[in-house]
Amino acid sequence: MNIQQLYQSKQILLECVSGSRAYGLATPSSDTDIRGVFALTKNRFYGLEYDPQINDETNDVVFYEVKRFVELLTVNNPNILELLATPKEFILQRNPILDTLKPELFLSKLCQKTFGNYALSQIQKAQGLKKKIFNPVDKVRKTVLEFCFVNYNNGSIPVLKFLNIKGGRQENCGLVNIPNMPSMFGLYYNPSIPYRGVMNKEMANDIALSSIPKGEEQIGMLYFNKDGYSKYCKQYKEYWDWVEKRNDARYQGTLDHGKSYDAKNMMHTFRLLEMATEIAKEGRVNVKRPNRDFLLGIKRGDYEFDYLIDKANDKKAEMEEAFSISSLQSNPNKEKIQKLLIEIRSELYS
């Protein structure tokens, strides 16, 4: 089933405008995110196929099957608790059958972990962008040659520099293992012998070994920093995957405000920490944020990163203190929740 088929059916139980618009943080460039809940037909639910979630290609529209919705509520998933507590003005449709699923049934001290961890992940994302901005990876990928070194004049130099000094080419090199010396290889050179070279193809992921004729003289020892090469390959892939998938408008906004961190991630850090504190103190989820100007100021890059980190640490400490004295239940009552879910499903299929 896809989104179009879902909308054509009568299976939607809840549909809401969510994200920045529900938070009261929308700007002219903000997308409209839709989140909701649906119930599978009786035959599909009891059959072999179960669809826990249906979304469009961009994930701007996402619907959760009612069982999955309740499962995520039970573990205090922040996004799903927000969906259940969506303000009335952002609810597009709602089936009264969900009225028994009230936020207070699910809210527990688990929120300290779920909201807190989510907030910290936003800081890590913001720092990750800062790292990528200051440490870009060249589009031309390095080869194993750039991680190979040869002993020279009581020290070592890159193999490419060594070959340049000797007026040689890597294709004419031969390498053999040296027993009991991992990553070290005997280096031979002879243009007249069909050696395999240091690497035998341009994008090889390892060095090449050759058969060395008897009597050939070893000209040096070569070290291949394989761990360094593997780490570089991972960094290269992560960086260019990020470049391919990044939101260019959002990235440009980060460059424009000049703070070199993802300000939107930092904005959500504060939103999540503040919401968690409110849950601990008030026992409810306040989706619409009262401090729009401050949060949008973070998004604009009005504040320095170090200042925000210090303030976020203060918010985290406040949240932890609030949960330490909160009267919230330790965990949701799964037995009661399961009973309500069964009643909902039974009514839907009656």
Does one domain contain both 156 and 278?
A: no
- Domain range for 345 is 1-108+330-350
Does one domain contain both 7 and 104?
A: yes
User: What pLDDT band is residue 178 in, cutting at 50, 70 and 90?
Assistant: very high
- Total number of domains in the chain: 3
236: exposed, middle or buried (Cβ count in 10 Å: 0-12, 13-18, 19+): middle
User: What DSSP character marks residue 216?
Assistant: P
- Note the pTM of the prediction, 2 decimals: 0.66
115 lies in some domain:
yes
The per-residue pLDDT for range 244-302, each reduced to its tens digit, is: 765 555 444 544 554 556 788 889 999 999 999 999 999 999 999 999 999 999 988 88
User: What pLDDT band is residue 215 in, cutting at 50, 70 and 90?
Assistant: very high
Does one domain contain both 103 and 1?
A: yes
Torsion of CA 64, 68, 74, 75, to 10 degrees: -90
The per-residue pLDDT for range 2-43, each reduced to its tens digit, is: 999 999 988 999 999 999 999 999 998 889 999 999 999 998
Does one domain contain both 195 and 323?
A: no
**Residue 125 in this model has a pLDDT that exceeds 70:** no
Does one domain contain both 35 and 75?
A: yes
Q: Determine phi and psi for 20, rounding to 5 degrees.
A: -60, -35
233 lies in some domain:
no
**Residue 74 in this model has a pLDDT that exceeds 70:** yes
Does one domain contain both 178 and 303?
A: no
Does one domain contain both 102 and 44?
A: yes
Q: Determine phi and psi for 297, rounding to 5 degrees.
A: -65, -40
3-state percent breakdown (helix, strand, coil) of the chain, nearest 5: 50, 15, 35
Q: Determine phi and psi for 222, rounding to 5 degrees.
A: -110, 135
Contacts of 315-318 spanning 24+ positions with Cβ under 8 A: 315/270, 315/273, 315/274, 315/277, 316/116, 316/119, 316/273, 318/273, 318/277
Whole-angstrom distance, CA of residue 125 vs CA of residue 195: 47
What average pLDDT is seen over the chain?
90
CA contacts within 13 A on the Cβ side of 208:
22
242: exposed, middle or buried (Cβ count in 10 Å: 0-12, 13-18, 19+): middle
Q: Please, are residues 174 and 222 in contact by the beta-carbon 8 Å criterion?
A: no
The per-residue pLDDT for range 288-326, each reduced to its tens digit, is: 999 999 999 998 888 888 899 899 989 999 999 999 999
47 lies in some domain:
yes
Smallest CA-to-CA distance from 111 within 267, 312, 274, 336 is with 274
Does one domain contain both 282 and 321?
A: yes
240 lies in some domain:
no
pLDDT score of 255: 45
Q: How many residues does the chain have?
A: 350
Q: Cα angle at 78 between 72 and 80, to 5 degrees?
A: 45
Does one domain contain both 260 and 301?
A: yes
Does one domain contain both 151 and 96?
A: no
234 lies in some domain:
no
Domain boundary at 176, 200, 228, which? 228
* Structure tokens given for 282: 């008030």
Does one domain contain both 126 and 254?
A: yes
Give the helix/strand (H/E) hosting 220. Answer: strand 220-224
- Mapped onto helix, strand or coil, the DSSP state of residue 330 is coil
Whole-angstrom distance, CA of residue 210 vs CA of residue 174: 5
- Displacement of CA 326 from its chain's centroid (Å): 31
CA distances from 208 to 107, 171, 278 (A): 60, 10, 61
202 lies in some domain:
yes
The CA R_g of the chain, rounded to the nearest whole Å, is 29
Does one domain contain both 34 and 61?
A: yes
CA distances from 35 to 22, 64, 68, 269 (A): 11, 8, 13, 21
